[in-house]
Structure 1
Amino acid sequence: MLQRKTQTAEYWEREFEITEEDIEHLYSLILERNSPVSTKELVLEVIRHRCQQEEERMRAELSRGVIYQPRDSYEVGQQLVFPVFDYRVGTVVSIRPGHNPEHGEFDVIAVQFEDEDKPREFAANLKTPHKLNRGDDDGAELWEAAHLIPPDELYEKYGDRVRQLVVEALSRPDSEFVSYDDLWMLQGLLAEVHVGHLNLAEALIEVKGQPVTVQEILAELDLPEEIPEGIKEFSLNVALQQDERFDLVHGRDGELWFLRRMEPPEALSTPKWLVYTPVRYNRAFLSVELLQIEWELDDEWTEGGISTDSASLVPSTTVVLTYPHWKAGTLPLSSRTRSFFPPGDHKRGVITFVDGRWGQRFPGWIVYEDRYICGLRDWYEQHKLPPGAYIILERTADPNEIMVDFRPRRMRREWTRVASVEDGRLVFRMEKQPVACEYDEHVLIGEGDEAALEALRVQLAEQNVDIAELLAMVFPELAKLSPQGTVHAKTLYSAINIVRRCPPGPIFAALMSDRSYREMGNGYYALNVEA
């Protein structure tokens, strides 16, 4: 059975290209509906339209002649349709006898196609079977839908490439199409949203002091009543999207608009302490014990750190506040914390934190792409939380609010490691520091001269010092603080992250692949004097 081109992978994956006719068809579709249309609907419509076009072309061509079949006899002047050549029509211009020991006697017909200079020859009156011979239904099976893949299944199979081409075509600078959040509309159908409307939107957000929905803004604008509500919302969303004052964020209840100037700087650009440049390493070096420690640290950049479905059922979770997040006033959006925050496809989301100690509410900003939640700097400072503190996230009755807490205890001065800089090197010493919360003793490292540490961080980045070199720098310094000369893997991770953002994996792989270090058990390592 011959297959229609639109039923093949070859057509959709290689031959298909968007034409002006496709664009005009989509233009008419949106014009007729007079409402925003999703990208998926447009792509499906293109696929349906191409299938329909092929069928119409087939019917038109087949009406001009009979379907060529090698078993049939033909006359000079007769018009034939060749499905195998995309239903092209040709005229029989001559007939001669043919002979082949395998097929016996048959005719050879010369067929002249409209767009070719020379005729082609084909077998006719053939007595032996041939794959181009059809049934006795005169091509009726070409119209049977039972064997055809429907457009929605073609979309599932080949929609990705078609979608890419459709979006590219509709997004051209001279396009009359306008998009917002995977919806499309015609520029000429949009409601007029002028600068006065946008100024009112800015004032509304400023007065409320929090992100608002597009419906809340529309309620304050005087747009013509005869315009459908869906077009009003789409038009306002497009106008807000094109104005640099406004920022689209994601909340539990959907999309919200806010003012960029009211967002914390760390929500708009990633704090320098959190910027991670991926490092290639061999995870096969990580022992079972180190994999367990890696899981405990729950770094947001750990490979395979994806939340599970069961995580959404957990009422609370505890994370260790690492130095980079302490400096940035952030928390990691990691496998353990991700389910506590609204999922989102936008760059940023917003949530309300509730202080578990004092009950105060304050906004938190979720930066999905760079995997962190910001807005906690003041909270850390108010409660004097150090790096290494245990931070608790707890769900509340309101899905838009997350309680953030720590484990308090009586203030006392503890011997802790403190990082500083000497002769361009990262060094450590033991000092007594006031601590009023429970913490992970392996992760807690105090900060000495802040300016010197920052200068060293910049210097090491400029010199492109790798993880192995950093490990060699900090290990002896940390080992000298222990009577046994040992250092815990968590402490190495914490120390290196003072001057370079890195998840545990590359650090642990460098530790295990270097004979300069030997494993002592329970996560501790020592310098190998025999190396």
Structure 2
Amino acid sequence: MASLALSLDPNYWKNLTITEEDLQFLYNHLLETETPQTAAELAEVLIRERIRREIERLKQEQVAGGEIYQPKNHYRPGQTLRFPALGMTQGVVVGVRPGFNPDLPPFEVVEVEFDSQTRKEFAAGLPEHALNAPIRISEQDPLLDPKYVIKHYGREIAAKLTAVFETNPDLVRIAGAWFPRALLVDVSVGYLNLAEAVLEMAGGGPLPTQAILEQIELPSDVNPKLTEFSLNLALQEDGRFDEVGPAGQILWFLKRLEPEAVQTPPIFLKYSPTELPGEPSQSILQELNRLVFDELENPETPSEEVGEVTLSLIFPHWRAGTLPLTGAMVNLFPTAYESPRVRFNFVDEDDGNIYPGWVVRSHRYIYGLQEWYTRQGVIPGSLITVRQGEKPGEVFIRARKKRPTKEWLRTVLIGSDGGIVFTMLKHTVGVEYDERMIIIIPDPERLDQVWEQTYRQRVPLDRIVRSMTKELAKLNPQGHVHAQELYAAVNLVKRCPPSALLAILASLPNISHLGDLYFRLSEEEASHE
């Protein structure tokens, strides 16, 4: 005979609420193991414990709170019954009468009251019935399978735990791992001063915690993991130190020895959002965003992780020695649980040389390529390929080289009044480039002065867009200007994302959209000086 299986409510894990009992269990777990754990690891521990509790509860329901209804038994008024098919709901027998069915042997009908409003009738005295099967805990219920629950609900439960832990003063977090504050080893300021000296001798870092521990001789007569975690917390709470390791790895750096561009965005990357005249066409914006990589746009992480990206540089990133951290590139670079800055290494794919790199997460750019740009002859508009490294904390980078040739290229000249002029001149170039993005800059220092003046005087963006459109139109016999060309040109003197550029283009009365990404000045505007 088949048995009746008890299982969890289908929404049990989806609607799970973290209780005080759960928190106490996890706190005791951390005390017993003396090992810091991430929210994801603790979520697995909690899932297994919850499943144990629920199985125990289901077992208890079979023997507590009234007799379990089975059709083979006889019942009397006043008797309390529980009904497995109704989620173990309890009811009281209020009446018994003979039943009649020519296809069945003699039986009884019991009337059961569940509440003052609900009564139902059930058969009794039937030796042959499916509900006479013995009750068991369902072994097929995936909601009682730890592997299934961890896979489908683990991330959501970990997020709930993190939200609760962040409000609990008894728990502390380092690089995503949690631990009770009460068990931490006291780390005096003397040991922190020694840690500063160790990092200074290492050029600021980065160094793992263990390397620092070995040199400062912090007493370790307790669990070594506790000692390491305690030092990590002390370093984190001291403003001299910066945790710069990628997720899963803790590395320390002295803040005062970090590059200035890591602590504060270079002027070339600073964007001051202003009230725009309207919203750009989303279809046109999407088309332009497919052609450029701009960290100021709303990041959209691709559904499929990409292992390699080729992008074209705009002047601000070229001048600052940076790359944009866009949605398409997020997966290529190391990230962290909490650290706003992550230290890693660029590896030149052609010669194997290593260049220290920094992911500045809060401002969405990657710093550390100024020397590499110079060595490789990279210019604004150059094509650069970035791909995931073969080791953690490593990213490969390659300049798309070609045989040097002399070509007519868009060149920016600066007048004595600081005005920008575009012309076509011949230059020798040994790198591949995007034809719409390339701009030769003979005098970068002079352009720096223009940038600083534009930034200081807060020149309106619409004035710059109109001026650059007019200058670029002179290079085209039809007077057409492509939005991608204009994007590269405007970013020569003021940081401007594609959305702001297109919003301004749509609002200017003397500029018309020709289709695709082409725009044209009216004859009156083009001839006006």
Tell me, yes or no, if structure 1 residue 247 matches structure 2 residue 220: no
- Measured against aligned partners, the alpha-carbon deviations of 1:397-446 in whole angstroms (never above 9, x if no partner) come to 99858677797979999983236797xxx953258999886575753264
Amino acid at match of 1:329: G
1:410-449 aligned at under 5 Å gives the runs 416-418=411-413, 427-430=419-422, 438=430, 443-444=438-439, 446=441, 448=446
Show CA shifts across 1:286-324 (max 9, x none): 89xx77x954x5555677686987745x9xx7x644221
Give the corresponding residue for 1:115. Answer: none
Q: Deviations over 1:439-471 (max 9, x none)?
A: 75753264656555445446668x6x56xx754
Summarize the alignment of residues 462-481 of structure 1 with structure 2, pairs less than 5 Å apart. Answer: 471-480=465-474
For residue 222 of structure 2, give the secondary structure of its aligned residue in structure 1.
coil
Deviation at 1:252, TM superposition (A): 11
Instruction: Give the match for residue 123 of structure 1.
Output: 121
CA distance in 2, matches of 1:357, 1:144: 59
**What is the percentage of aligned positions where both structures have the same residue?**
31
Closer, same or farther: CA 431–91 of 1 in aligned 2, 3 Å: closer
2:14 pairs with 1:33: no
Q: Is 2:349 the counterpart of 1:331?
A: no
Query: 2:42 aligns to what?
Result: 42
Aligned partner of 2:182 in structure 1 is 188
Q: Which residue of 1 aligns with 2:56?
A: 56
1:136 to 128, 132, 137: 132
Alignment-derived partner of residue 260 in structure 1: 255
Q: Would the alpha carbon gap of residues 222 and 52 (structure 1) be closer, same or farther in structure 2, given more than 3 Å must change? A: same
Separation of aligned partners in 1, 2:112 and 2:390: 82
Question: Partner of 1:125: helix, strand, or coil?
Answer: strand
Q: 1:338-374 deviations in whole A, cap 9, x for unaligned?
A: 7875565553332446899999975332224544222
- CA distance in 1 between partners of 2:5 and 2:323 (Å): 56
In structure 2, do the counterparts of structure 1 residues 379 and 387 end up closer, same or farther at CA, with 3 Å as the change threshold?
A: same
Taking a change above 3 Å as real, the CA distance of residues 530 and 435 of structure 1, as seen in their structure-2 partners, is closer
Partner amino acid for 2:216? L
How far 1:258 moved relative to its partner? 0.5
Partner of 1:13, secondary structure, is: coil
8 Å Cα contact 1:70-1:123 kept in structure 2: no
Alignment partner for residue 145 of structure 1, among 129, 139, 153?
A: 139
Conserved in 2, the CA contact under 8 Å of 1:333 and 1:372? yes
Distance 2:264 2:336 in 1: 18
Task: Give the counterpart letter for 1:22 in structure 2.
Answer: D
Alpha-carbon separation, structure 1, partners of 2:352 and 2:110: 95
Tell whether the 8 Å contact from 2:322 to 2:365 is kept in structure 1 after alignment.
Answer: yes
- Matched-pair contact (CA < 8 Å) for 2:91–2:112: no
Q: For 2:388 and 2:43, locate their aligned partners in 1 and report how far apart those are by CA, in whole Å.
A: 40
Cα 1:481–1:61 change in 2 (3 A) is closer
1:66 and 2:62 are equivalent in the alignment: no
How many angstroms apart in 1 are the aligned matches of 2:259 and 2:428? 27
Q: Distance in 2 between matches of 1:213 and 1:197?
A: 16
Deviation at 1:208, TM superposition (A): 0.7
What is the Cα-based RMSD across aligned positions, in Å?
5.3
Alpha-carbon distance in 1 for matches of 2:329, 2:156: 35
2:383 and 2:323 map into 1 onto residues whose CA distance is 11
Write the distance in 1 (CA, Å) between the matches of 2:348 and 2:268. 25
Could you tell me how far 1:262 is from its partner in structure 2? 1.1
- Once residues 51 and 508 of structure 1 are traced to their aligned partners in structure 2, the CA distance between those partners, rounded to angstroms, is 55
Structure 2 partner of 1:8: 10
- Tell me which of 107, 120, 125 is aligned to 2:110: 107
Q: TM-score, normalised by structure 2?
A: 0.73
Partner of 2:227: 232
C-alpha separation in 1, matches of 2:257 and 2:232: 19
Shift of 1:245: 1.7
* Alignment partner of 1:364 out of 357, 369, 382: 357
Asked whether the equivalents of residues 480 and 518 of structure 2 are also in contact (C-alpha less than 8 Å), the reply is: yes
> Shift of the alpha carbon at 1:19?
1.6
| Preserved contact between residue 307 and residue 334 of structure 1 (Cα < 8 Å) | no
Task: Please give the alpha-carbon distance, in whole angstroms, between the structure 2 residues aligned to 1:105 and 1:355.
Answer: 86
Q: For each residue in 1:100-119, what CA deviation from the matched residue of structure 2 results, as whole angstroms up to 9, or x when unmatched? A: 99x9973324578xxxxx69
Alpha-carbon distance in 2 for matches of 1:503, 1:3: 60
* Alpha-carbon distance in structure 2 between the residues aligned to 1:370 and 1:327: 17
Counterpart residue number, 1:373: 366
Q: Give the gaps of 5 or more residues in structure 2.
A: none
Provide the residue aligned with 1:157 in structure 2: 152
In the alignment, which residue of structure 2 is the partner of 1:81?
Answer: 82
Q: Quick one: distance in 2 between partners of 1:508 and 1:458?
A: 24
Matching residue's letter, 1:80: L
Between the two proteins, the alignment pairs up a number of residues equal to 501
Q: 171, 176, 179: which one pairs with 1:177?
A: 171
User: Which TM-score applies when normalising by structure 1?
Assistant: 0.72
Distance in 1, matches of 2:447 and 2:31, equals 65
TM-superposed deviation, 1:223: 3.5
Q: What SS class does the counterpart of residue 109 from structure 2 fall into?
A: strand
How far apart are 1:74 and its partner, in Å?
Answer: 1.1
Quickly say closer, same or farther: Cα 1:234–1:286, change in 2 above 3 A: closer
Higher mean C-alpha deviation, range 61-70 or range 236-245: 61-70
Q: Secondary structure at the match of 2:131?
A: coil
Match of 1:350 in 2: 343
Q: Secondary structure at the match of 2:111?
A: strand
2:358 is paired with a residue whose SS is strand
Q: CA contact under 8 A between 2:175 and 2:248: conserved in structure 1?
A: no
